[in-house]
Amino acid sequence: MADWRPLEVDALIGLGRLDDAGAALAELDAAIPAFGLASASMTAARLRGNLAVARGDLARAGESFAAARQLSRGLSLPFHLALLERDDGRRLRRAADRQGAVACLRQARDRLAALGARPHVAVCERELQACGADVRPGPGPARWNLTASEMAVARLVARGQSNREVAAELYVSVKAVEYHLGHVFDKIGIRSRRALPGRLAASVPEAGGHGGGRDPGRQG
């Protein structure tokens, strides 16, 4: 599947040329191999959701995004997953599900920030502002001065993912994950990944030294 097809559909939807977008989406569907390709099918489902939102059919949009999320399971394509989360967040905002929208948009923003995709980060932040949500980082991460990459790694590790799983999620090397995680430990003042969930959950970081004996590497 050519990469320009999804871009064309998104652009046509943005221009309000919905019939043309539908025709382009049909061409995209026809280009997906008969044996199936999860990533392409996920993208097509996301675009069907966007088109349904533009047409005001939020029920059908919800079905399309549910299908896209099902297809996304097991995929390690952080940029495409972030676009799915971003667009589903838009849908949820229009459906008046503020809490769901904010959760999706923040997750998308974090993924995109870790990838350095600043224009897309800006889109997420505009949507968050439209939800009435604070787009600034929380007091803990801001005070710790974590970079976007360090924050993305920290959040995934805090969820219990191994370094290898985090590397696959963010599309980086295991060594890069270890590097960022080591910096996170130093900045937050912890020595073990087991302490990370509690520290991230705290609204204000506690004082603490940087001692040795760090354990950033569970390769699992």
What was the pLDDT predicted at 215? 56
13/44 same-domain check? yes
What was the pLDDT predicted at 21? 96
Answer whether residue 125 is part of any domain.
yes
What was the pLDDT predicted at 49? 97
What was the pLDDT predicted at 202? 55
Answer whether residue 5 is part of any domain.
yes
Domain limits at 86? 78-135
Answer whether residue 156 is part of any domain.
yes
More confident residue, 214 or 67: 67
What was the pLDDT predicted at 152? 87
Residues 168-185 have pLDDT tens digits of 888 889 999 999 998 888
Q: Could you tell me the pLDDT band of residue 143, with boundaries at 50, 70 and 90?
A: low
What was the pLDDT predicted at 203? 35
Q: Could you tell me the pLDDT band of residue 48, with boundaries at 50, 70 and 90?
A: very high
Name the domain boundary from 89, 104, 135.
Answer: 135
65/83 same-domain check? no
93/110 same-domain check? yes
Collect all residues with Cβ–Cβ distance below 8 Å to 1 and sequence separation of at least 6. 28, 31, 32, 37, 40
Answer whether residue 111 is part of any domain.
yes
Collect all residues with Cβ–Cβ distance below 8 Å to 145 and sequence separation of at least 6. 187
Match 């919800």 to its residue by tokens. Answer: 62
Answer whether residue 220 is part of any domain.
no
168/156 same-domain check? yes
87/49 same-domain check? no
Answer whether residue 217 is part of any domain.
no
Query: What angle (nearest 5°) sits at the alpha carbon of residue 147, between those of residues 143 and 152?
Result: 105
Contact between 177 and 168 (Cβ < 8 Å) = no
113/181 same-domain check? no
Q: How many domains is the chain built from?
A: 3
Mean pLDDT estimate for the chain:
84
pLDDT above 90 (res 56): yes
Least confident of 60-69, 149-158, 183-192, 204-213: 204-213
Least confident of 68-82, 123-137, 142-156, 185-199: 142-156
More confident residue, 95 or 75: 95
Q: Could you tell me the pLDDT band of residue 191, with boundaries at 50, 70 and 90?
A: confident
What predicted TM-score, i.e. pTM, was given to this entire model? 0.63
**CA distance linking residue 27 with residue 84, whole number of Å:** 20
Stretch 137-162: mean pLDDT, rounded? 75
Query: What angle (nearest 5°) sits at the alpha carbon of residue 174, between those of residues 120 and 68?
Result: 45
16/71 same-domain check? yes
Answer whether residue 167 is part of any domain.
yes
Stretch 160-164: mean pLDDT, rounded? 92
